[in-house]
Amino acid sequence: MAKLNAGAIARLRVRFGNRIRQVRTQKNMTQVELSDKSGICQASISLFEAGEKEPKLGSVFKLAAGLNVDAGSLLEDPGTDIDGKGRGRFT
């Protein structure tokens, strides 16, 4: 298995954050609403969306529950709709 360098990890954080923002806005939710539904503070959601904070696995599942989506869908490329149609998973 190949190791990811710091640049690759930073790009993944940004793409994950873009995906969270995309799904949240498609569902017409604010960060505060997602915070209320997921139990994750709004400040952390903001940092995730900005690609400035790497979420722990538990946070991914909490965000998915708050957004009412499968956790795997949050790992989709931001070009993918929440119904799974589009470009596919990112690596």
DSSP state of 80: S
Closest C-alpha to 20, from 62, 4, 36, 10? 62
Mean pLDDT of 8-34: 94
- Full set of structural domains in the chain with CATH: 30-74 (1.10.260.40)
Cα–Cα distance for residue pair 91/78, rounded to 1 Å: 12
pLDDT at 89: 42
pLDDT at 90: 40
pLDDT at 75 over 60: yes
3 state SS of 89: strand
- Measured N-to-C along each axis, helices 42-49 and 31-38 cross at an angle, to the nearest 10 degrees, of 120
Q: pLDDT by residue (tens digit) across 39-68?
A: 999 999 999 999 999 999 999 999 999 999
Three-class secondary structure assignment of 42-63: HHHHHHHHCCCCCCCHHHHHHH
Q: Is-above-0.85 flag for pTM?
A: no
Mean pLDDT of 77-91: 53
